[in-house]
Structure formats: structure tokens, C-alpha cells
Amino acid sequence: MGIELASLSKSYDGQNWTLKNINVQIKSGEFFTIVGPSGCGKSTLLRMIAGLISISDGTLKIDDQDVTNLPPQERSLSMVFQNYALFPFLDVKSNVAFGLKARKMPAAQLEQRVAHALELVGLSELKARKPRELSGGQRQRVALARAIASDTKICLMDEPLSNLDAQLRSKMRSEIRELQQNLGITLIYVTHDQVEAMTMADRIMVLHAHEVQQIGTPSEIYQHPANSFVAQFFGTPRMNLLSVHYSTKNQRHLQVDPLLDYVLPMDIEEGDYFVGVRPNALEIHATAQASNAAIKNIEYLGTQSIIHALLDNQEEVRITTAQNNTFSLGERIQIRATAAYFVFDNTGRAIFFNKGDGEDGRTNYKQTVTNAL
Ligand SMILES: Nc1ncnc2c1ncn2[C@@H]1O[C@H](COP(=O)(O)OP(=O)(O)OP(=O)(O)O)[C@@H](O)[C@H]1O
């Protein structure tokens, strides 16, 4: 079942918008992730879809039916919460069966449905246990089983993995993705974790400052971020943003002094811009000659290191190096950019990018990067 959000807005106090004008069509069977920093309104949006809080403005349709003002139980969807929302006094099986009992499902059918759901999440053996006798991951699976047993075609999940340790989280990520594929359900998944969003979703909606920043597939969002917020939200470590001024005097070259010269589109207007370069698109050369930066900090991460360097113009950049290196703090280095870079205007809007292979996706500019050094 598909879901359509048309100009959906929310104000809790009647004065300020928590969410403004959210538009998207979520396709049937899609894994759709809503991601953004804390407080951006992710849970609010999910709860509006669920019917747990009212919609201030706009229309919500499920399977072409207007459900804007329908109560939750008439929206044919299930929801999995961050804290699992299990009943502590009921055993696993009864927790999974709870919603079906409330719907007065015949006993035989209920038994079968619950057994199937428990089997899918690998909990059949533990069906007589109480939630307190389970690990965090197992509790999470009970909550998943409950959503599966409800047999709705749409499932909403609000940060379902945030209470789990990193290893279990990664395992559950692929389990949830697999279940969603096998069951063919439409899944709307809220997370603040960009890695979770990237690895699980068919499409991602990025929320920030009350508004949608971008909707796209993980690769669209990573390779063609709509603005500097999205560009810096995805990718670890964050994309470097270097401020530059482009004047008619240096018509063709936008100089990110002292790092690089970029050849820019000829029709760009005079003004302030940001050039974005991902940390893995910068290279360090250990040379005393023509150095342009000094090493400020080194984070060793085993197979790679993150180097924090201070450019001579006092801007700080992050660079990932592929292998262990012999750099030391304070050492003078030369930083060079490989070809891939982005240009944002002074509002942060992406106006240009260069993938480094001479093919510019969004624009048709055929430009290359030239090293000034
Ligand atoms: N019931 C409420 N009444 C008033 N304001 C609320 C209410 N619930 C949430 N808010 C406010 O709305 C904004 C969005 O909250 P929401 O919980 O949707 O954000 P979120 O993106 O899910 O954040 P997090 O990742 O921290 O859970 C916040 O500023 C929050 O304080």
C-alpha cells in the first residue's frame, strides 16, 4: 500500500511550525527512511502518519484513501517504538497476540499467526518468557513479531534499534531489511543515524529546520546532495566546507587559497561560496616544500586514520588516509584535492558538483579541476 503526504504540516502551539509543507509519495513495498538531527520533527511526522497526533494542515492518503482525520485503528498500519512498548506482565506470546486478541481474531487463526511471527524473528523457543527475562535484542524482536503478526501492509518504526549495542544494531538492520523484503510491506523508518538510513533504505527523506531538505536514494543523496546541510550530514567524517569569494577579477578560477584552484562554470555570479570536498577526496603529501597546512590532530582507526589539519588560511580540514601513516603532530604537509568537489552558494544550496571524471551529473558543465600547487 502506498502513502501520500500532501502539504502535511504540524504546529503544537498554533504559532510555530514544527513541520512545514511535507510532500512525498511513498510507494507500496518501499523501505522509506526519515532521517535528521535530534528535534527536527521525525517522530512528529511518524506519529501524524500513525494517527497518534493530529495533522495541523495538509492531507494524508493511504492507498488513495484520505485518512487525515481517521483514528489510528482505522489506518491499517502497525508501529514499532524505540522502547518496544511491551507489556511487562505478559509473556512473549501474549505480547505478540495482544493486538489480535483485541481484534477478536478466532483462536486457531491467532495461534497460527503468532507462531509464524515468532518463527520469523527466531523467538519460538522463548515464547513463555516475560520481557524482563529477555535481552534488548530479543525484546526488539518481540516488538517486531507483534508488528508482523498484525499483518498490516504498512509498518512504522521509530528508532527501533537505538537501545541496542553497535554489533546487535548492525545485525538487526539487515534482519529488518530482509523481513521487510520477504513480507513485501511498506516500511517507514525513523532514525537520526545516517549510516542506518543509508544502509537500509530504498529512499531517504532528510528533515532539518522544519522542512524537507532532500528526498532521494542513498546514492543520489550522497553523490548529489541538494545543499550543504545534506552534504555534511551524510558521510564520516563530515565533508569539508571551505569558504571562498569569487570575484570578476578571477573570472575562471575560484581559488580556495591556498589549497586549490577550481575551474568554475563561466556563468557563476560574483559572491561568496563554499567549496565542499569529502575527506577521502583530499590527499596529503609529506613535503617540506610548498606545504600549505600543518597537522593538528590524528585519529587512528585501525585501517585508516582521520587527520585534522590546519590550512595556512586557518581553516581546518579533515582528511582520511587509507593506511597507517607516519605523520606527526605539527608536521608541515601539502594537501591536495583529488578531483571530486561540490560548490554551494551562500545559502548552502548546491549549485555545482564535479565527480572528478569529467561528467557533471546535475549540470552539463564539462569542467575539470586544476591544481594550483
Ligand atoms: N507534544 C508536544 N508538544 C509540544 N512540542 C512538542 C511535542 N512533541 C514534540 N515537540 C517538539 O517538536 C519538535 C520535534 O520533536 P520530535 O520528537 O518530532 O523530533 P525528533 O526529530 O523525533 O527528535 P529525536 O531524534 O530527538 O527523537 C521538538 O522541538 C520538540 O520539542
Provide the pLDDT for residue 367: 33
Ligand 1 neighbourhood includes 35 CB (under 6 angstroms):
no
40, 55, 81: residue to mutate for ligand 1 pocket, most atoms within 8 A of CB: 40
The yes-or-no verdict on residue 370 having pLDDT over 70 is: no
pLDDT tens string 323-343? 667 788 999 988 887 667 788
Confidence of residue 274 (pLDDT cuts 50, 70, 90): confident
Determine the average pLDDT of the residues in 76-100.
87
- Which residue lies with its CA nearest to atom 4 of ligand 1? 12
35, 43, 159: residue to mutate for ligand 1 pocket, most atoms within 8 A of CB: 43
Q: Which residue has the higher pLDDT, 262 or 365?
A: 262
Q: Is 4 helix (H, G, I), strand (E, B) or coil?
A: strand
Ligand 1 neighbourhood includes 20 CB (under 6 angstroms):
no
The two beta strands, 293-300 and 260-263, are: unpaired
32 strand-pairing partners = 188, 203
C-beta separation of 337 from 282 below 8 A: yes
| Topology agreement, domain 3-226 and domain 229-370 | no
The yes-or-no verdict on residue 301 having pLDDT over 80 is: yes
Ligand 1 neighbourhood includes 39 CB (under 6 angstroms):
yes
How far is it, in rounded angstroms, from Cα 126 to Cα 252? 68
CA separation, residue 213 to residues 6, 119, 225, 272, 350 (Å):
16, 39, 9, 21, 11
Atom from ligand 1 closest to the CA of residue 46: 18
Atom from ligand 1 closest to the CA of residue 41: 18
Angle at 238 between CA 234 and CA 241, to 5 degrees: 110
SS (HEC) of 75-130: CCEEEECCCCCCCCCCCHHHHHHHHHHHCCCCHHHHHHHHHHHHHHCCCHHHCCCC
pLDDT tens string 106-123? 889 889 989 988 988 888
The yes-or-no verdict on residue 58 having pLDDT over 70 is: yes
Ligand 1 neighbourhood includes 40 CB (under 6 angstroms):
yes
The yes-or-no verdict on residue 252 having pLDDT over 70 is: no
CA separation, residue 242 to residues 282, 288, 315 (Å):
13, 23, 7
Mean pLDDT is lowest, of 182-191, 238-247, 250-259, 278-287, for 250-259
Q: Is 356 helix (H, G, I), strand (E, B) or coil?
A: coil
CA 14 / ligand 1 centre spacing (Å): 15
What are phi and psi for residue 42, nearest 5 degrees?
-60, -50
The yes-or-no verdict on residue 260 having pLDDT over 70 is: no
Q: Which residue has the higher pLDDT, 164 or 63?
A: 63
Confidence of residue 129 (pLDDT cuts 50, 70, 90): very high
Q: What are the b/e assignments for 27-57, b being 16+ CB within 10 Å?
A: eebbbbbbbbeeebbbbbbbbbbbbeeebbe
Provide the pLDDT for residue 358: 46
Q: Cis ω on the peptide bond leading into residue 258 (within 30° of 0)? A: yes
C-alpha cell at 211: 522542512
Determine the average pLDDT of the residues in 342-364.
67
42, 48, 82: residue to mutate for ligand 1 pocket, most atoms within 8 A of CB: 42
pLDDT tens string 134-190? 988 888 889 888 888 888 889 999 998 887 788 878 888 888 898 899 889 999 999
The yes-or-no verdict on residue 362 having pLDDT over 50 is: no
Homologous superfamily of domain range 3-226: P-loop containing nucleotide triphosphate hydrolases (3.40.50.300)
Ligand 1 neighbourhood includes 162 CB (under 6 angstroms):
no
Can you say whether the dihedral through the CA atoms of 134, 136, 139, 141 is positive or negative? negative
Confidence of residue 95 (pLDDT cuts 50, 70, 90): very high
Atom from ligand 1 closest to the CA of residue 40: 21
Amino acid at site 220: E
C-beta separation of 228 from 192 below 8 A: no
Q: Is 324 helix (H, G, I), strand (E, B) or coil?
A: coil
Provide the pLDDT for residue 248: 61
Mean pLDDT is lowest, of 4-13, 319-328, 362-371, for 362-371
SS (HEC) of 193-223: CHHHHHHHCCEEEEEECCEEEEEECHHHHHH
Whole-number average pLDDT of the chain: 85
The yes-or-no verdict on residue 211 having pLDDT over 60 is: yes
Closest CA relative to residue 44, chosen from 158, 144, 201, 153: 158
Confidence of residue 51 (pLDDT cuts 50, 70, 90): very high
ipTM of the complex: 0.97
Provide the pLDDT for residue 359: 45
Exposure of 1 by Cβ count < 10 A (0-12 exposed, 13-18 middle, 19+ buried)? middle
Q: What's the fold here for domain 229-370?
A: OB fold (Dihydrolipoamide Acetyltransferase, E2P) (2.40.50)
- Which residue lies with its CA nearest to atom 9 of ligand 1? 44
- Which residue lies with its CA nearest to atom 3 of ligand 1? 12
Domain ranges in the chain are 3-226, 229-370
Q: Which residue has the higher pLDDT, 328 or 4?
A: 4
Q: Mean pLDDT highest for which of 84-88, 130-134, 204-208, 235-239? A: 204-208
